[in-house]
Amino acid sequence: MPEKLAAIRPLERQDLELVAKWRQSSAAIEAFFSADPVSLSTQGLWYEAYLRDQNDMMFVIILDDGTPVGTIALVNIDHRNQKAEYARLLIGDPTFKRKGVAESASRELLAFGFKQLHLTKIYLEVFETNHAAVSLYKKLGFETEGRFRSEIFSRGIWQNVLRMSVFLDVARTG
């Protein structure tokens, strides 16, 4: 197990300005499916709905000293079927890329989902061309379970999307 480089903590209202800034970066615009512009006011409206949504848990990725460097989430939490979608992974400050931060935060998120929420399956969707993210997900144990052709229109072209998933050991056969 690699050294723990980052931790996650629940998103708070005071984080919204920073998150809105990160979401406006070209890296986020390229990686995320939604093309909607993100501003502090749209983030504020989203946050009010988020607080009422029991099936969406968003976290800020922090370094040892508490510095926020990115986001990660479990959404569409489905207790009946013991599954959730891993989403909104973003290292907002490029200075902290390629240092193992996303990997460390992802391992913490997966452990939280499997141990605290008693999930047995965690899945995600990613642009097929997002090689950095796909490589990370494979390293974390995700496997491709579907490829959706020309699924999302982004940056002027139709993009293929991979759906990937990871299971809790021994659970869910069939």
Ligand X SMILES: CC(C)(COP(=O)(O)OP(=O)(O)OC[C@H]1O[C@@H](n2cnc3c(N)ncnc32)[C@H](O)[C@@H]1OP(=O)(O)O)[C@@H](O)C(=O)NCCC(=O)NCCS
Q: Which residues bind ligand X (CB under 6 A)?
A: 27-28, 31, 89-91, 97-103, 126, 130-133, 135-136, 139
Longest alpha-carbon distance in the chain: 45
CB of 97 vs ligand X, minimal distance in Å: 4
- Token pair recorded at residue 170: 């021994």
Q: What are phi and psi of 89, to 5 degrees?
A: -75, 125
- Token pair recorded at residue 80: 């009946």
CB of 174 vs ligand X, minimal distance in Å: 28
Dist CA 152 CA 127 (whole Å): 9
Q: Which is nearer to ligand X, 89 or 119 (CB)?
A: 89
Give me the amino acid identity at 152: I
Dist CA 136 CA 142 (whole Å): 9
Q: Which is nearer to ligand X, 118 or 139 (CB)?
A: 139
Among 90, 116, 102, which Cα is nearest to 15's?
90
CB of 1 vs ligand X, minimal distance in Å: 13
Q: Which is nearer to ligand X, 63 or 136 (CB)?
A: 136
> Do residues 20 and 38 make contact, with C-beta atoms less than 8 angstroms apart?
yes
CB of 170 vs ligand X, minimal distance in Å: 26
Q: Which is nearer to ligand X, 54 or 68 (CB)?
A: 68
- Token pair recorded at residue 28: 């986020």
CB of 99 vs ligand X, minimal distance in Å: 5
Q: Output the CA angle 127-71-59, nearest 5 degrees.
A: 125
CB of 110 vs ligand X, minimal distance in Å: 13
Q: Which is nearer to ligand X, 48 or 65 (CB)?
A: 65
Q: Which is nearer to ligand X, 118 or 153 (CB)?
A: 153
